[in-house]
């Protein structure tokens, strides 16, 4: 390992420890009693608040009591159920498509959860509408897989800190963070970095004066001048 790589890992580790201390995430509050509804919840969580996801899931579960009911439902009825989550047209189409693939025997989520990580991830990603992040988040929350999924907030934070390069895609940044964060901290790191991106390192007008990393952040001076 080069000195540059070692320094970068130390930087990532320091950032992760600090954001975990700041936000004290509690993974235990995120529990799922059914893998299909877990997958739906993960899809609904994209680009929306936890409060809106909770509202949408309550409506969705009242409306649909099985994956079969979702697969046979009209797209409009799914849209109406999940409206609080935002981007409901796109999300409803994905949810219906996934439900149909499950009921048609393309995948058995219970069986997937018993598979080794690489195989489980590959099979999940064989479903249309499930990408690497969705697969990783599903495995992380439903069975405690020690991975560190990368979302838009984490990408933004890491790019501003100079850890993610412009050319880095999902797999490259995930590998980079996982190499620096011990398995037992990865779920905490995922949750805390998202909160940091939502509340401090926000997309527009980041709160650099409140940021504990402003002295080591290449983007801090740029935003301060802007």
Q: Report domain extents, the chain.
A: 3-26+149-225, 28-143
For 135, the token pair is: 């697969």
User: 63, 49, 139, 136: which is closest to 95 by C-alpha?
Assistant: 63
Q: In 3-65, which ranges are E strands?
A: none
User: How confident is residue 146, by pLDDT bands cut at 50, 70 and 90?
Assistant: very high
Distance CA 95, CA 78 (A): 8
Per-residue pLDDT at 29: 77
pLDDT tens column, 72-122: 999 999 999 999 998 999 999 999 999 999 999 989 999 999 999 999 999
Mean pLDDT of the chain: 93
Q: How far is CA 21 from the centre of its chain?
A: 20
Q: Which CATH class is domain 28-143?
A: mainly alpha
Which residue, among 186, 184, 183, 117, has the nearest Cα to 154 in the 3D structure? 186
Class of domain 3-26+149-225: mainly alpha
Residue of 51, 133, 167, 199 marked catalytic: 133
Contacts of 116 (CB under 8 A, 6+ apart): none
Q: What is the pLDDT of residues 161-218, one digit of tens each?
A: 999 998 899 999 999 999 999 999 999 999 999 999 999 999 999 999 999 999 999 9
Instruction: Verify whether residue 133 is a known catalytic residue.
Output: yes
86 versus 157: which is more confidently predicted?
Answer: 157
């Amino acid at each position: 390992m080069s000195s540059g790589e070692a320094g970068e890992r130390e930087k990532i580790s320091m950032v992760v420890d600090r954001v975990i201390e700041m936000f004290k995430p509690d993974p235990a509050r995120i529990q799922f009693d059914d893998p299909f509804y877990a997958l739906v919840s993960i899809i609904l969580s994209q680009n929306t608040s936890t409060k809106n996801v909770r509202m949408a899931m309550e409506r969705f579960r009242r409306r649909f009591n099985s994956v079969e009911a979702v697969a046979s439902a009209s797209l409009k009825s799914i849209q109406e159920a999940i409206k609080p989550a935002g981007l409901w047209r796109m999300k409803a189409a994905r949810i219906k498509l996934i439900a149909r693939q499950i009921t048609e025997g393309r995948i058995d989520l219970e069986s997937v959860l018993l598979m080794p990580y690489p195989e489980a991830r590959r099979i999940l990603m064989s479903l249309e509408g499930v990408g690497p992040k969705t697969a990783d988040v599903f495995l992380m929350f439903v069975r405690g897989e020690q991975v560190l999924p990368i979302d838009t907030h984490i990408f933004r934070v890491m790019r501003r800190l100079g850890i993610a390069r412009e050319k880095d895609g999902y797999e490259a940044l995930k590998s980079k963070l996982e190499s620096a964060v011990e398995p037992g901290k990865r779920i905490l790191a995922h949750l805390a970095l998202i909160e940091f991106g939502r509340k401090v390192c926000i997309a527009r007008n980041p709160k650099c004066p409140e940021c504990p990393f402003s002295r080591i952040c290449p983007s801090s001076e740029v935003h301060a001048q802007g």
